[in-house]
Amino acid sequence: MIRILHTADLHLDSPLKSLALRDETMRDVVQTATRTAFTRIVDAAIAQDVCALLIAGDLFDGAARSAKTAAFLLGQLDRLGDAGVQVFYIKGNHDAENPLTGELTLPAHVHIFDGRGGKVQIGDTNVWVHGVSFSGKHAPESLLNKFSTPVPDAINIGMLHTSLAGAEGHDTYAPCSEAELRNFGYDYWALGHIHKRKVYSQSPWIVMPGIPQGRDIGEAGEGSATLVQIDGSTISASEIPTSAVIFREESIDVSETTDDDTMRALLRTSLNEIASNTSENAILRLTLTGNSARHWELLRDKHLWTETAKDIAAQTGRIWIDKLRFDLKAPVIAGNSTATDELARLMAEIQQEDNFAKELDTIVDQILSELPAQSRSDLLPDPSALRKLSAELSDTGAAQMIALMKGASD
């Protein structure tokens, strides 16, 4: 039995985008999460007695230069070398941006494929690894023509950093189709670049391992590496969990709460259940839902409930609430319309008007233009994001105003 571990998109020391950095108990865990994930990959490689670790691009993150990152990486690679594990590495788009990629002299048991491509045999096994690195920050054309033909009567593994035919949220790099990979003659394609794990084919195997450590709520769920087992000509693949921190989206239906006591009890029960069902520290985006008779009171006191929920979550020792959202609807009470209800109806109508939406977009865009470029990029990742953000701000503001008026009148 030959075992190989396949990973990609480690983005070492990439900052996790979370307000948890403000919390003393979570800060260290969040700041070192990508390192912890890589350490777990090395731990798994040694524990599973693998003969090789495949890193299919984006080991580093952007242009950040850090001697601490270099020292950490070399220490982990030395652990692999001491255990007799060969390392095969191709450079992705983020690696090409990072100065450490060219400055570091990696240990002898680490093979870095260059932009011309090549193939290397794993020890004395009948397994050959083929790989092609990015030569620069961009690879707009397919790299398949740089791969060598399969070695006859052997297991052939191809390492490629690619967006395949395209993936939402990812730039197009080294494009190719699944059909091209299937027809190439290799037995396993070790891919990287797309941060969500997916097995595209099992004959041959075409595997995107996903990001080992999610960095924000857009990369929610458990990160992992892929353990490849080769028994003769039979190949199997399974997941090895790696995340130090898991981003999760959860919701709690508060429709049945009748007072503050039942509300706190529900939050405590629900958050304890979430904590018991998470394998690692979790950062939550929590949404309160339902048709509650206390709709306006909850919105009026949203800051109090946000702090209450955060405190209850912190008491579990496992979860931290990054953001609390209120998606509540007031029950319809026939024949009991008030002046505030009428104002709410008028505000809802105005929000649907095109001129209002355009004016709001302009105002929000002007405000955002004062932010640093990176902050603006985070808030507006695509052309549709401005409209979504404006609508969310409009809905939240209108609901908060009505809640305050309802609270005052009640």
Instruction: Give 353-365 pLDDT, tens digit per residue.
Output: 777 777 767 776 7
pLDDT for res 321 = 92
Assess whether 98 and 130 both reside in one domain. Answer: yes
Q: Are residues 224 and 261 in the same domain?
A: no
Same domain, 155 and 289: no
For 29, the domain range is 2-241
Take residue 399 and report the two structure tokens written for it.
Answer: 């609901």
Q: Assign 328 to helix, strand or coil.
A: strand
Closest-CA residue to 242 (of 19, 45, 27): 45
pTM: 0.78
Q: What is the largest CA-CA distance in the chain?
A: 83
Q: Are residues 139 and 77 in the same domain?
A: yes
- Name the residue with higher pLDDT: 378 or 403: 378
Query: What pLDDT score was predicted for residue 396?
Result: 62
What would the pLDDT profile of 45-73 be if each residue is shown by its tens digit?
999 999 999 999 889 876 655 788 889 99
Domain tally, the chain: 2
* Sequence-separated (6 or more) residues with CB below 8 Å from residue 115: 132, 133, 134, 135, 146
> CA-to-CA distance for 93 and 103, rounded, in angstroms?
17
pLDDT tops 80 at residue 3 = yes
**CATH code at position 69:** 3.60.21.10
User: Residue with structure tokens 């912890």?
Assistant: 36
Q: At which of 211, 241, 271 does a domain end?
A: 241
Residues 392 and 250 in one domain: yes
Asked whether the predicted pLDDT for residue 178 surpasses 80, the reply is yes
Measured distance CA(54)–CA(172) in Å, rounded: 22
Which of 241, 268, 291 corresponds to the end of one domain? Answer: 241
Domain shared by 285 and 338, yes or no: yes
Decide if pLDDT at 120 tops 90. yes
The whole-number pLDDT of residue 188 equals 98
Same domain (yes/no): 118, 227: yes
CA dist 3 and 11 (Å) reads 24
Q: Are residues 201 and 250 in the same domain?
A: no
Residues 221 and 290 both lie in one domain? no
User: Could you tell me which residue, 49 or 302, shows the higher pLDDT?
Assistant: 49
User: Using H for helix, E for strand and C for coil, what is the string for 373-404?
Assistant: HHHHHHHCCCCCHHHHHHHHHHHHHHHHHHHH
Q: What is the pLDDT of residue 395?
A: 63
At 410, is the pLDDT very low, low, confident or very high (cuts 50, 70, 90)?
A: very low
User: What is the rounded average pLDDT for all residues in the chain?
Assistant: 84
Q: What is the pLDDT of residues 92-110, one digit of tens each?
A: 876 664 455 556 788 999 9
List the Cα angle 357/289/223 in 5-degree steps: 90
Out of 241, 270, 285, a domain closes at 241
pLDDT at 348: 63
What lies within 8 Å, CB to CB, of 305 at 6+ separation is 263, 288, 298, 324
Mean pLDDT of 289-311: 89
Same structural domain, 219 and 366: no
Q: Do 169 and 253 share a domain, yes or no? A: no
Looking at residue 154, its pLDDT comes to 97
Q: Do 65 and 104 sit in the same domain of this protein?
A: yes
